[in-house]
Structure 1
Amino acid sequence: MAIDLVLRRDWNARAPRGDYTQLDSTKGVKVHYTGGRVDPGIVSDHAQCVAMVRSIQGYHMDGNGWIDIGYTYVTCPHRKVFEGRGLHHLPAANGPGLNAGHYAVLGLVGNAGLVQPTDGILHAILDAIQYVRDHGRAGKEIKGHRDGYATDCPGDPLYAWVKRGAPRPGNSGPTAPPFPGRLLKYPPVIQGEDVRTWQAQMSTRGWELDVDGAYGSASREVCLRFQRQQGQDDDGIVGPITWRLAWEAPIG
């Protein structure tokens, strides 16, 4: 499916207050979320998506003092891609010193209300990524805003998808078993079949550890190293995200 691009004139964007800085090429894309509450009603009402994009532009220009909306593109649940700053223009959303490295693509999900990215949003993000690769000299990297910058953005659900390799919805792949419901951490030593299941999966991934059902110092060390490899907070605790990544993150 070709990109469903909503041009600036179509969402009544304000004109930028100055000239953009030229961006010849990037290493790839940084994925973002709004960081606030997103009304779940946008899933069934595209007019709310348009209003939200205009609100974000207003906040960036009037609140942050930027010349325009900070994102290269914004994506919504209806698989539409709103033109922000557009191709070959330096974004403002990645953080000081980081904007020249990646284009910035926002998915309209937040930390409350609509938290889980819909298939339409994920498809639209990937449509935008392919577009900047084809027309904006973007490299292959797909990273979260939190990669290299101290922020919760793009939120745990969207970031976990990024760390799984940003697959197209509907693509088959390994799926993690349900999270056991308790955090696996040390000290003290925690024992159980949930520990054994996680250890066995980590062993399958190539990590050296005993599959003994006891989460002790050795398991914690493997967890720490795995979390660092995946760009997660390295707390040595197997929580829902670390558990899911053990099965769903690409190997290698």
Structure 2
Amino acid sequence: MQFVTRSQWGARPSRYDLVYIGSTRGVKIHYEGTAVPVALAKDENHTSCAGRVRAIQASHLANRQEDYSDIAYTAMVCPHGYVYEGRGSHRKTGANGNQTLNANHYAVCAMVGDSGLTTPTDKQLAGLRDAVEWLRASGGAGSEIKGHRDGFGTACPGGPLYAWVQKGAPRPGGTTPSKPKPPTYEPFPGVGWFKANPRSPIVTAMGRRLVAVKCSAYRSGPGPQWTEFDRQSYARWQRHLGYSGDDADGWPGPSSWAALKVPKV
């Protein structure tokens, strides 16, 4: 995957904190819905794509009626197949039409429009598949690939792109990939395991998840050795889930551990 991070394309900071989501049913495909120049698809014009993403973010942030927190899309894909990180994985999109739809699916937008460049390139279709598979692997996205119009009254993502979605969103020159294996997570090892001051890659994986959900109290790390910073970070996660008092003491329990979804190591 040719992935372009927010810092690489020059994203502005989010206006508000983005809402965390652990998983979705899948991904909805979008288009820009306005004119996109045909010339954008030329190889020599790839240098314009990052600026296009910046302009779309700026227009969304300037839309006071919608009051967007950030660029509405989870990601954007240019005609050359590059995937531009938008809100990113584990962040609720703002593009699908309402709060429920935004929580149910991520939103990936192709740089095609309702006039000019209306048909996605093969590189772009491959990039869209890359984005879907990234969100499955790193964002808890389910197996569904739908169009924006599925469940919301809109022409998006346009005729050519929606026809591709209806075919199962196959990679160009191939067939629809088999359904990916569901992610596996570390089973809860028991609170006694943590109180025994373990040193394990499980502790590192847990710490990385706590950093990802913005509950870090680490000064450095995380690392494999359980420390007081791990306990403080986990207490922040418990409070994030709504726990308080003894239920937010930083010692992992089965329910909060299941919600954290620590990847299998």
Partner deviation per Cα, 1:100-156 (whole Å, 9 max, x = no partner) = 000100000001000001011100000000001011111000000000000000001
Task: Work out whether 1:67 is the aligned partner of 2:66.
Answer: no
Q: Distance in 1 between matches of 2:103 and 2:3?
A: 23
The secondary structure found in structure 1 opposite 2:55 is helix
What is residue 198 of structure 1 aligned with on the other side?
A: none
**Normalising to structure 2: TM-score of the pair?**
0.63
User: Counterpart of 1:12 in structure 2: which amino acid?
Assistant: G
Q: Distance in 2 between matches of 1:13 and 1:40?
A: 25
The secondary structure found in structure 1 opposite 2:157 is coil
The secondary structure found in structure 2 opposite 1:28 is strand
Residue correspondence of structure 1 range 103-252 to structure 2 within 5 A: 103-171=106-174
Unaligned runs of 5+ in 2: 177-265
What is residue 13 of structure 2 aligned with on the other side?
A: 15
Residue 47 of structure 1: how far off its partner (Å):
1.9
User: Counterpart of 1:34 in structure 2: which amino acid?
Assistant: E
Q: Distance in 2 between matches of 1:89 and 1:152?
A: 25
What is residue 51 of structure 1 aligned with on the other side?
A: 51
Q: Distance in 1 between matches of 2:175 and 2:24?
A: 30
Residue 49 of structure 1: how far off its partner (Å):
1.2
Residue 50 of structure 1: how far off its partner (Å):
1.2
Q: Distance in 2 between matches of 1:157 and 1:43?
A: 16
Q: 1:172–1:126: structure 2 CA closer, same or farther, 3 Å change rule?
A: closer
What is residue 102 of structure 1 aligned with on the other side?
A: 105
The secondary structure found in structure 1 opposite 2:97 is coil
User: Counterpart of 1:150 in structure 2: which amino acid?
Assistant: G
Partner deviation per Cα, 1:196-215 (whole Å, 9 max, x = no partner) = xxxxxxxxxxxxxxxxxxxx
Task: Work out whether 1:91 is the aligned partner of 2:89.
Answer: no
Task: Work out whether 1:32 is the aligned partner of 2:30.
Answer: yes
Q: Distance in 2 between matches of 1:79 and 1:21?
A: 28
Q: Distance in 1 between matches of 2:123 and 2:78?
A: 7
The secondary structure found in structure 2 opposite 1:100 is helix
User: Counterpart of 1:69 in structure 2: which amino acid?
Assistant: I
The secondary structure found in structure 2 opposite 1:99 is helix
Instruction: Provide the identity percentage.
Output: 49
What is residue 6 of structure 1 aligned with on the other side?
A: 4
Q: Distance in 2 between matches of 1:79 and 1:34?
A: 16
The secondary structure found in structure 2 opposite 1:56 is helix
Moved more, 54-63 or 81-90: 54-63
Q: Distance in 2 between matches of 1:113 and 1:65?
A: 29
Runs of 4+ in 1 over 3 A off after TM superposition: none
Unaligned runs of 5+ in 1: 174-252
Q: Distance in 2 between matches of 1:171 and 1:155?
A: 23
Q: Distance in 1 between matches of 2:39 and 2:5?
A: 23
Residue 172 of structure 1: how far off its partner (Å):
6.4
Q: 1:13–1:160: structure 2 CA closer, same or farther, 3 Å change rule?
A: same
